[in-house]
Amino acid sequence: MKSYDIVVIGGGSGGLTVAAGAVAFGVKVALIEKEPEPGGDCLHTGCVPSKALIAAAKELHTAKKAAKAFGLELKGNADYHEAFQRVQAAKAAIQHHDSSERFRSMGVDVFHGHGQFRDAHHIEINGNEVINGKRIVIATGSRPAIPPIDGLQDVDFLTNESVFDMRALPKSLVVIGAGPVGLELGQAFARLGAQVTVLDRGPEILSIEDEEIVPYIRAALEKEMTLLVKATVNRVETIPEGRKRLYIDRDGEKLQLEADALLIAAGRMPNTDRLELSRIGIEMDRDHIATKKTLQTNIPHIYAVGDVIRPFPFTHAAGMEGKIVVGNAVFGLKRKVSYDNVPWVTYTEPEIFHLGMTEQEAREYVGDKISIFRVPLDQVDRFITDGHKEGIVKVITDGKGKIFGAHAVGNGAGEWMQQAVFAKHYGHKLPDISQVVHPYPTYSEALRKTADQYWQHKFSHGVTGRLLKAYVKWFR
């Protein structure tokens, strides 16, 4: 039986971070991955293929929009095979970095198959080989959650695990789920030529975003596809020519929708069911694995990272967790994870940036002793010159400028809002951003203008402002 200092189960972002980090310090590491190659959901069925598809769709959309603006006309249907090829090329290029060969060259022993616990130190692979781990890291990721809709089990539907294998674009597509995945893919397929309808049973799309942000993105998306909220799908069936018919309740009204394809984007569920966790008594948080701030489970030598734990199912969060586990598992540190400064981006167009608390969350946390600073993008010169005026920046602080939350919707928001993450992470206040020189004209001026408002507010309403006004009045 082979023995290892660390056994990692799962080769996604979190697992690969742990494996690469641990082996770099001379630790003997085993990596168990169920797929033919590591990379996890992000590489194979998530971030990488979706962003490649979004980029291809954006190029086509921009070309059509520009042609129309200059009095030209683009005719014919787009070649979907070109978009498909771009997706495969992006995956292949990045796969090299995450390949079994590369990790073996680093000194990691890579095993392919399903791993499950035989006991707290022994992992069985594919029901035959058993390896021993002094410490074990669970990083098995997640998969699409399939809602309990009558008839769905008899219908050929798509998820993020199958949609990127499509060789032809459906003429019409219904998406169940108006979260980031459903909206990103829905917009991409709409731009490539499909007629798209997105359904959600909730009262609004993107329920976790700041309420002031949502109307901007909803208005933009409704120009390209149909959004139906408060819509519960009761039954699905296949009709002639492989089309799908959906029976829907919407605000008491009965609806029927038909489409060539159906995409399920109704959330994720952690891959914990094949690990035999109950055999060793791992404590659970419903379907997720319960962990301490040190990312240890209730069994101290077993850690968990990524989508199998709460609360942030993002690739960059899993990578952050993996780094913490390397320090804790290899060196015996007790570093604690914090999600206070972890942002996320929804890659629709315009993009949505989210950091920290929403306004509602901030009011629940500190009451009404908060300050809100906002700048619509139609007041920022670079957005005006580029014709991307739809959007807003919104920052929530305490009275002294400490950042509670920063939100934006706008072209490329995931890039130019990053300075807010740096400021919040290192304890800088919003007015500090105002003191930094930003080149003119750039998108990043949107955040700087928001920071400028802090001083305008302070000089108008604060003690300094009152003294200044009294001084001016006295000299008059």
Give residue 465's pLDDT band: very low, low, confident or very high (50, 70, 90). low
For 272, which DSSP code? -
Task: Evaluate the omega torsion of the peptide bond into residue 240 and state whether it is cis, within 30 degrees of 0.
Answer: no
Query: 281, 304, 331 — which closes off a domain?
Result: 331
Omega within 30 of 0 (cis) for the link into 311: yes
Distance (Å, whole) CA 338 – CA 336: 7
Residue 470 lies in a domain: no
pLDDT over 60 (residue 471): no
* Cis peptide, bond prior to residue 313, ω within 30 of zero: no
Residues 169 and 219 in one domain: yes
Instruction: Find the domain containing 292 and state its range.
Output: 2-144+269-331
pLDDT band at 462 (very low <50, low <70, confident <90, very high): low
The answer to whether residue 466 scores a pLDDT higher than 60 is no
Q: What is the pLDDT of residue 411?
A: 97
CATH of the domain at 15: 3.50.50.60
Query: E strands within 164-274?
Result: 172-176, 195-199, 226-228, 231-238, 244-250, 253-259, 261-264, 268-270
> 363-397: per-residue pLDDT in tens?
999 888 999 999 999 999 999 999 999 999 999 99
Give the per-residue pLDDT at 297.
Answer: 98
Does the pLDDT of residue 468 top 60, yes or no? Answer: no
Residues 91 and 168 in one domain: no
**pLDDT at position 251:** 87
Residues 50, 192 share a domain: no
Same domain, 173 and 293: no
The pLDDT of residue 472 is: 46
- Over residues 232-265, the pLDDT tens digits come to 999 999 999 999 999 999 988 999 999 999 999 9
Q: Do 35 and 138 reside in the same domain of the chain?
A: yes
User: Exposure of 255 by Cβ count < 10 A (0-12 exposed, 13-18 middle, 19+ buried)?
Assistant: middle
Shared-domain flag, residues 58 and 40: yes
Q: Are residues 227 and 274 in the same domain?
A: no
135/170 same-domain check: no
Tens digits of per-residue pLDDT, 327-359? 999 999 999 999 999 999 999 999 999 999 999
Q: Both tokens of residue 171? A: 């003429």
* Predicted pLDDT at 475: 47
Q: Assign 457 a pLDDT band (cuts: 50, 70, 90).
A: confident
Does residue 344 lie in a domain region? no
Say if CB 436 and CB 448 are below 8 A apart: yes
CATH of the domain at 445: 3.30.390.30
pLDDT band at 75 (very low <50, low <70, confident <90, very high): confident
Q: Residue 473's pLDDT is what? A: 53
Q: Are residues 389 and 261 in the same domain?
A: no
User: How many domains would you assign to the chain?
Assistant: 3
Q: Is residue 426 part of a domain?
A: yes
Nearest to 398 by CA among 344, 457, 439, 442: 457
Mean pLDDT of the chain: 95
Asked whether residue 106 carries a pLDDT value surpassing 50, the answer given is yes
Query: Which token pair is 353?
Result: 């940036």
Return the percentage of the chain with pLDDT > 70, whole number. 97
The pLDDT-based confidence of 459 (bands split at 50, 70, 90) is confident
What local confidence, expressed as pLDDT, does residue 460 receive?
Answer: 79
Residue 338 domain-assigned (yes or no): no
pLDDT at 122: 98
